[in-house]
Amino acid sequence: MEPVKVGVIGCGVIGSRHLSIASEASHIELVAAADLIEANRTNAAQRFNPPKMYSNDLDLLNDDEVEAVVLAFPTQYRTEVALRAFERGKHVLIEKPIAMNAAEVEQLIAARGDLISGCCSSRNRFSAAARLATQLITSGGLGDLRSVHCRAIRGAGKEPNTPRPAWRLTKALNGGGILVNWGCYDLDYLLGITGWQLKPQTVFAQTWTVPQVFQSHIAPGSDAETHYTALIRCEGGIVLSVERGEFMTMHTHEGWEIIGTEGSLKLTMGDGKPENVTYNRTTTQDGVASTSLSELGEAPESQHSNPLADFAAGIRENRQPLTSLENALVVQKITDAIYASAEIGSAVEIEGG
CA distance 271 to 196: 21
Assess if residue 295 is contained within a domain: yes
In a shared domain, residues 168 and 38: no
Q: Which pLDDT score, from 0 to 100, does residue 302 have?
A: 66
Both 288 and 142 in one domain: the answer is: yes
Number of domains in the chain: 2
**138 and 66 part of one domain:** no
Same domain, yes or no: 200 and 119 = no
Shared-domain flag, residues 114 and 136 = no
Q: Nearest 5°: phi and psi at 34?
A: -150, 145
Residue 233: give its domain's CATH number.
3.30.360.10
Q: Are residues 136 and 99 in the same domain?
A: no
* 303: confidence class by pLDDT, cuts 50, 70, 90: low
pLDDT reading at 244 higher than 80: yes
Residues 165/278, Cβ–Cβ less than 8 Å: no
Burial of 199 by CB count in 10 Å (0-12 exposed, 13-18 middle, 19+ buried)? middle
Domain assignment of residue 266, given as a range = 124-302+332-349
Sequence-distant (≥ 6) Cβ neighbours of residue 240 within 8 angstroms:
148, 149, 190, 191, 198, 200, 231, 232, 234
pLDDT tens profile 98-153: 999 999 999 999 999 999 999 999 999 999 999 999 999 999 999 999 999 999 99
173 and 214 belong to one structural domain: yes
- One domain, residues 96 and 161: no
Do 210 and 298 reside in the same domain of the chain? yes
Q: Is residue 327 part of a domain?
A: no
Q: Cα(205)–Cα(203) distance, rounded to whole angstroms? A: 6
- In a domain, residue 44? The reply is yes
Rounded to two decimals, what is the model's pTM?
0.94
Q: Does the pLDDT value for residue 5 go beyond 80?
A: yes
pLDDT band at 246 (very low <50, low <70, confident <90, very high): very high
Q: Would you say residue 1 has pLDDT above 90? A: no
pLDDT digits (tens, 9 = 90+) for 330-344: 999 999 999 999 999
Q: Secondary structure of the chain in the HEC alphabet?
A: CCCEEEEEECCCHHHHHHHHHHHHCCCEEEEEEECCCHHHHHHHHHHHCCCEEECCHHHHHCCCCCCEEEECCCHHHHHHHHHHHHHCCCEEEECCCCCCCHHHHHHHHHHHCCCCEEEHHHHHHCCHHHHHHHHHHHCCCCCCEEEEEEEEEEECCCCCCCCCCHHHHCHHHHCCCHHHHHHHHHHHHHHHHCCCCCCEEEEEEEEECCCHHHHHHCCCCCCCCCEEEEEEEEHHHCEEEEEEEEEECCCCEEEEEEEECCEEEEECCCCCCHHHCEEEEEECCCEEEEEEHHHHCCCCCCCCCCHHHHHHHHHHHCCCCCCEHHHHHHHHHHHHHHHHHHHHCCCEECCCC
Specify whether 118 is located in the same domain as 179: no
Residue 185 lies in a domain: yes
Model confidence band, residue 353 (pLDDT cutoffs 50, 70, 90) = low
Residue 16's domain is classified under what CATH number? 3.40.50.720
Among 173, 150, 135, smallest CA distance to 254 is for: 150
pLDDT by residue (tens digit) across 139-171?
999 999 999 999 999 999 999 988 788 878 888
Q: Are residues 197 and 249 in the same domain?
A: yes
In a domain, 298, yes or no: yes
For residue 130, is it within any domain? Answer: yes
Residues 106 and 192 in one domain: no
Confirm if 115 and 91 have CB atoms less than 8 A apart: yes
